[in-house]
Structures are given as C-alpha cells and as structure tokens.
Amino acid sequence: MKKALLSLLATAAISTTAYDASAQTQTDARVAVAITETISGYNPYADPVVLLSNVWCQVYGCVTRYDFDRNEFVPYLAETVQSVDPLTWEIRLPEGAKRHNGEPVLAQDIVHSIDYLGKNPSSGKSYLVAGWSKVEAIDDRTVRITTATPDATVPDNLAGVAVTSKALYDQMGEAMFRDAPFGAGPYKLDEVSIGEHIVISRNDGHPMLSPNNPTQIMYRIMPEPEQRVTALANGEVQIAQSVPPQLMARVADMPNAQIATTNSVEMMFLAMSPKTHPWDRKEARQAVAHAINREAIVRAILQGQADLLNGPVSAGQIGHDPEFTGTYDYNPEKARELLQSAGLEGVEVTLSTPVGRYTADRQITEAMVPMLEAAGFKVTLDTPEWATLWANVQQGKVPFYYMGRGSMIDPSRALHQYFATGGSPRIGFSDPELDTLLAAERAEFDPAARDEKMQAAVRYLVDAAPAAFMWQHKMAWGVSKGISFQPRPADQVNGWEVFVN
C-alpha cells in the first residue's frame, strides 16, 4: 500500500496565514505573552509542556504541525511526509532549507533529533518515537522511518520533533542548545531566563511570516491568574493565557483588551479502576455517569465555560461522531437503580481530586459528592497535593479520580494509554474487544476510514464506562486590542498567528 497522507507543499500549507509582504511595512512591535507553565531551559527535548514545545518548533522547526483550519497534520519543516507502506514513512525536506546561521537542514539532522528524543536521558519526550524500530537518512533530503506495527499517529508524533543540527551537536554537545541554537523556524532564539521568560525574534524572510507579525515575542511566566489579568490591563503583556471564569468579566470590561475563547482538546473525566471494588462492576461505573449533573456544574461553577462531552472527543477531533449523543443523561433514579441492581447501595468510595490543577477542580468534585450520595454511594473526598496524587495515579493506586488529559487532537495515544490493555496502570482497564477496535484505528491510514474506526472504539468505550466523560473546558485568553490573535484548541501562541494592528 502506498497511500500518501501528507504530500502537501509546506508553502501551500501556510498560505492561509501568510500576508502579502510587499504590500505592508514591517512592524517593529513586540508582544509579551503571560503564560502559566515552566520554562525549564535551552534543551528543546527536555520539557513536554505543550506551549514550550511549540516555542521550540518556532525556533528549530518541527517536522509537521497541526493545521486547525484544515483539521489535519501538515508538513512544517518538511516538504512532504508520506506513508510508503503500512510500516514505512518517508520524510522529504525542501530543497535549500537553511538554518538561521546559513547552514543547510539535512536529513541527518532529523535522524539525529529522533535519536536524541528516544535515547538521551535528558529527553522528556521519548514516547514520541517509541515503537519506531529504524530511522535512517536515505540521502541529504530524505528520511525513512520504519515502525514496529502500522501506526497512523506518526504525523502527530512528528509534530513534536524539533529538528536540531547534528553537525553542531557533534561539535559542541549539549552546549549547542545554549550557545548555537540555530534552527530553521520562523523565529530565532534571543534569550532564555530559566523559570522566568523566553524571548524569540522574527526570522525575516521566512515564508510563514507576514510584515505585521511581531518582531519579538516574550513568553513570560506569571503563575497567578490575577497577575496575568492585571498585567494585561496595565499593558505589560498583550496576551494572557488561561483567564479563569471569575476573571473573564474583568477582562471583558477592559478598554484595552478582550476575551478570546476556544475549546480545549483536553477531556475531563472521572476514572474508575475496574481492578478495585466496586468499580469492577459495570453498573457502578454507569451509575456514576448517570449521577453527575454535568449541566448544573458547567452552569453554576464553570459559568458556562465548558462543553459537555458525550465521549472522550468532541468536534474537530479524530473520532468525533456528531450523531452519537451519548448514553448517560443526568438521571439519579436510574443511577440508584443500577447501584441497587448490583447490590451496591451504600458502598463506600473515595473520590480523589487535584486542587488547583484544573479549573475549579476542588469545587467541582465537592459538588459531585452529594450527587453521588443521592445515587447511593457513600463518598469521601480526597484532596492530596498534585505530586502525590499524580505519582499514585501513574502507579494505578487511585481507584476513583477526577482528571484531565490534554494533547488529544489525535486521541489515539491517549485512548491507548488509558484504556488499552497494558497501556498504563492508571485505570487498569482491559477489554479484548476494545483493544481490537483501538488497534484497528491505529493501523488505518485512510483518514475517513480511520475516523469511522475511532468512532466505533469511542462508542464501545463509552458503554463500557471505565471513565465517565465530563466536559472540555473552554480556554479563555485575554488579548490586547492592539493585536489580533485567535487562540487555537491547543495551548499554542505562534508568532505567525499574532498580528499587530
């Protein structure tokens, strides 16, 4: 089978955002972005945080990227990415691709980058290249990847591969990241202040840029929401990430800023480990799904800033079926009946939740407790510190918890991780039929056919209910009226998508 999935010219892929450079004067305006997450250093492979990974893609260039207008992965640094056969993918670099220092981008650089990601102890993203049995440079412009099993998620994984220079790494080692961060992306690295900020500046002449993209962008850590919003009001930043519901009205009232929202690609769910009692009974799991009044929580606590989920995915994600309206309406009587039919009325359960990790997580789970008790559960709410909860979840030690899972533009990796047999101990769910359905979607390279197979897996998963799917938060960003920026469903602020008015 030789089916090309991604054979678009890179220049065509970016044409939707590119402006006519000759018609406008280049802006010298700078834009500061207040962000929530960490800036852990110069190494582009060390930190899996989405926003930071995206900054590295702007500097070095990643092999692919997700085009939210086209709803598909398109080449970024590459010219084409195609599947040659079910186990083989080929990446072709464009003729004459150059780094910021004028050196050519070579196929050997991609091989080196993938090798570093997979094997170097400093890599925090080795999962991206797991299952790739061989990566080789065929010539200076062509890379061939051989996978152990058919894997339709390769273009998704390549979106996390920042292409660094093999020659510079061989010459300088790890110091290259700090002393010679020459990439081939639309922006250049200017400055990194660890744990504080990162500054990138425009790589003039790059085809993705237009004259009114900012000349410099500073991503500045501001962990407190009040501070991000105040800095926006004060004109210290032009974009503020993650404005919580209670501060949205304040931003909307600002004369110099406004709110821009997008849906997230993060599913929020209640996980129930079938390895533990009473979650070994499907009736108990389904009772939870019927017991939670999600509409009331979204209305009262999240102030409407979330979209209800009928499964793990929503519109715009692979596997979303608009016809599938879900099977779990809010029905406390039915929940009680299910629990009674399993002889579990009055069963004691502990609901664990992070505090401050997700929007209103504690308030939401506090509201869930009486709903679950109305269905017949006896509930204890557990609120451990995030590091403790997360370590225990990863080891499969938490039977019932409220959690989110992001990076789900292509949900395959997440669904395999949480629900496939042996995917991870987090839920410990195992169902051969679901395994078959998930394996089938991953091996399907035709997008339409894959979508159908994913939909079948989602339907089966929802019925089996190892998790009760709750909602996706709407992500609110504060945006200065001096710029135009429409946030995307992933936490990304790409310079070429920010326009100075």
Count of residues of this chain found to bind other proteins when the rule CB under 8 A is applied: 48
Token look-up 């105040």 returns 230
Other C-beta atoms closer than 10 Å to the C-beta of 20 total 8
Asked if 232 contacts 34 with a C-beta cutoff of 8 angstroms, the reply is: yes
By beta-carbon proximity to other proteins, the closer residue of 310 and 407 is 407
Q: How far is the CB of 220 from other proteins (least distance, A)?
A: 7
Contact region for other proteins (CB under 8 A) — 279-287, 385-393, 432-440, 478-486?
A: 385-393
The HSE-up count of residue 489 (CA atoms within 13 Å, CB side) is 24
Q: Which of 48, 86, 104, 245 touches other proteins (CB under 8 A)?
A: 48
What is the DSSP annotation of 312-327?
A: S--TTSTT--TT---S
Contact region for other proteins (CB under 8 A) — 18-26, 76-84, 226-234, 263-271?
A: 226-234
Q: Which of 139, 204, 224, 253 touches other proteins (CB under 8 A)?
A: 224
Residue 108, both tokens: 């050997």
Q: Which of 227, 258, 303, 327 touches other proteins (CB under 8 A)?
A: 227
CA neighbor of 370 nearest in space, from 335, 403, 326: 335
By beta-carbon proximity to other proteins, the closer residue of 328 and 401 is 401
Q: How far is the CB of 172 from other proteins (least distance, A)?
A: 16
Q: How far is the CB of 312 from other proteins (least distance, A)?
A: 15
Other C-beta atoms closer than 10 Å to the C-beta of 295 total 12
Binding of residue 222 to other proteins (CB under 8 A): yes
Q: In the window 93-152, what residues touch other proteins (CB under 8 A)? A: 121-122, 124-127, 130
Q: String of b and e for 450-487 (b: at least 16 CB within 10 Å)? A: bbebbbbbbbbbbebbbbbbbbbbbbbbbbbeebebeb
CA neighbor of 208 nearest in space, from 179, 172, 184: 184
In whole angstroms, give the CA distance from residue 187 to residue 167. 21
**Type and span of the H or E element at 405:** strand 400-405
By beta-carbon proximity to other proteins, the closer residue of 140 and 224 is 224
Q: How far is the CB of 48 from other proteins (least distance, A)?
A: 4
Q: Which of 385, 433, 446, 463 touches other proteins (CB under 8 A)?
A: 385
Q: Which of 51, 105, 159, 233 touches other proteins (CB under 8 A)?
A: 233
Q: How far is the CB of 92 from other proteins (least distance, A)?
A: 27
Q: Which of 29, 41, 355, 460 touches other proteins (CB under 8 A)?
A: 41
The HSE-up count of residue 453 (CA atoms within 13 Å, CB side) is 20
By beta-carbon proximity to other proteins, the closer residue of 30 and 282 is 30
409 Cβ contact partners less than 8 Å away, ≥ 6 residues apart: 66, 156, 265, 317, 318, 489, 490
Q: In the window 166-185, what residues touch other proteins (CB under 8 A)? A: none
Q: Which of 69, 139, 196, 463 touches other proteins (CB under 8 A)?
A: 196
Contact region for other proteins (CB under 8 A) — 79-87, 224-232, 309-317, 439-447?
A: 224-232
Binding of residue 29 to other proteins (CB under 8 A): no
Asked if 373 contacts 114 with a C-beta cutoff of 8 angstroms, the reply is: no
Contact region for other proteins (CB under 8 A) — 84-92, 293-301, 379-387, 468-476?
A: 379-387
Contact region for other proteins (CB under 8 A) — 19-27, 188-196, 283-291, 361-369?
A: 188-196
Q: Which of 221, 259, 439, 443 touches other proteins (CB under 8 A)?
A: 221
Asked if 403 contacts 418 with a C-beta cutoff of 8 angstroms, the reply is: no
Q: Residues 416-435: x/- map of binding to other proteins (CB under 8 A)?
A: -x------------------
Q: Which of 331, 384, 443, 460 touches other proteins (CB under 8 A)?
A: 384
Binding of residue 220 to other proteins (CB under 8 A): yes
**First-to-last C-alpha distance (Å) of the chain:** 48
In whole angstroms, give the CA distance from residue 215 to residue 293. 48
Q: String of b and e for 59-71 (b: at least 16 CB within 10 Å)? A: bbbbbbbbbbeee
Q: Which of 40, 146, 276, 331 touches other proteins (CB under 8 A)?
A: 40
Binding of residue 195 to other proteins (CB under 8 A): yes
In whole angstroms, give the CA distance from residue 444 to residue 454. 10
Going through 197-250 in order, the beta strands assigned E by DSSP cover 197-202, 216-221, 239-240
By beta-carbon proximity to other proteins, the closer residue of 63 and 218 is 218
Q: Which of 14, 32, 306, 398 touches other proteins (CB under 8 A)?
A: 32
Residue 232, both tokens: 């926006």
By beta-carbon proximity to other proteins, the closer residue of 208 and 237 is 237
In whole angstroms, give the CA distance from residue 229 to residue 163. 35
Q: Is 319 left (phi over 0), alpha (psi -120 to 50) or beta?
A: left
In whole angstroms, give the CA distance from residue 483 to residue 231. 16
Q: In the window 444-483, what residues touch other proteins (CB under 8 A)? A: none
By beta-carbon proximity to other proteins, the closer residue of 135 and 192 is 192
User: Which amino acid, one-letter code, is at 93?
Assistant: L
Q: Which of 5, 8, 33, 43 touches other proteins (CB under 8 A)?
A: 43
What is the contact surface with other proteins in residues (CB under 8 A)? 30, 32, 38, 40-41, 43, 46, 48, 121-122, 124-127, 130, 193-196, 199, 218, 220-224, 226-227, 229-231, 233-236, 384-388, 390-392, 394, 405, 407, 413, 417
